[in-house]
Structure 1
Amino acid sequence: MLKVYPAESRYTSDHGWLKTAHSFSFADYYDPNNLQFGPLRVLNDDIVAPLTGFVPHPHREMEIVSIVLQGQLRHEDSSRATETTTFGGVQRMTAGTGIVHSEVNPSSEEKVNFLQLWFLPEQKGLTPSYEKTEFPVEKMKNRLLPIVAKNPASKEIAHIHQDLTIYLADLEKGKEIVFSQKPGRRIFLFAIEGRLVVNKGEAILNRRDSARITQTPVLQLDAESDARFMLIDLP
């Protein structure tokens, strides 16, 4: 079962310093039929103006992942973690019993575009923590590169307290990727750039379109143009 959500179906808002598109209910946008997909609770596509950002604010009982697509993102939190990330880096924060953090654009000239994802953790009451990891961008070429996982196989993969894996891929025009998973799991697919054909034409995803997929343990992805996308294997 596959349902496509076109980019234009997302809730958008423009706050001047922030332009954002929400794939799920968030802040001023509430839809009781669009609260989450499995443990995936939030996917915000944020563009933040230079020298602005999200001032310190609290979080609890959530796994938060930030993936920078363009520009720089600076993180600070109450555990004294301070990091700046560009494309090729992942920020993962366990809010657990409570943490305060900020995310700002430190550049005086360039906007930052990043994906902010929230996941429900496997258990509540976790100790708050933060980590920054860096993945080899060149290894995204024509393959699914894991960048976040419950059981990371290397220091290039961020650890998350949920049974999921986030992959990124750069698929060249005319190339194909086949993804297989255990029955009973979910797939969330997000086209960052380009045009993807899913399962020989069952669906086509253009830039910023997404798909929520169930009961499909094998997924075939073909690029009609050079495409960059994110795939999340979810319980």
Structure 2
Amino acid sequence: MSVEVIRTNVLAGTPHGFLGRRGGVSTGIVAGLNVGTGSTDQPEAIAENRKRAVEAVLPAAQLATVYQVHSGDAVVVQSPWPHDQRPKADAMATDRPGILLGILTADCAPVLLADAEAGVVGAAHAGWRGALAGVTDSAIAAMESLGARRERIAAAIGPCIGQASYEVDEAFRQRFVEADETNDRFFATVAGQRPHFDLEAYVASRLAAAGLASVEPLGLDTYADADRFFSYRRATHNREPDYGRQISLIGLA
């Protein structure tokens, strides 16, 4: 099976792709295109999967990733860091051709951004903590430091946990409502059940509020599609001892 690359209209013309689990060499509960070095997968399999991912999006490019910590922080990438020297951050921006920015997820929202006119791209890992902390705003600011203009930036939100799958507690909801009372619109509550959070819609609203040119949510639920995507919450609910991570990529040719 070949690597599945999910592309978007708003980023057409910029090398990019949201990848799932199809087309990799890993086996067992992380079967497929697992790229997570934090998993118990074989290092050789992870390396091969990362190689395949890069070749599917921008052949011969250098892959740049960060040590993701669910923060609101972004960094500018001039060249990839050695794996053990990656900065702790959750968003990146670059204007250097031949570099692929890579965001790893397993339910959190991957966000890819581009100002094609300026030749600047960005990527963000938006879990609920990072999204609330403004990780997408930090990504945009990092892009602007390289010459991008937000009114020209297009963004796409890739596969992430869908609202129907994302049950949370009332304390979780209160965090968002206390930050902005209008955030209550991102929670659906059915009588007798806990709230369900729409992470994708929240991230999209943050991007739109930042004044971007266009925002495209893909509407793909990682939890609900086990054949196509890895999911931390699904693995937890199934009491599995490990879970895979998928990668989302964007770069400049």
Q: Which has the higher contact order (CA 8 A, sep 6+)?
A: 2
Greater strand share, 1 or 2?
1
State TM-score, norm by structure 2: 0.33
Greater helix share, 1 or 2?
2
State TM-score, norm by structure 1: 0.35
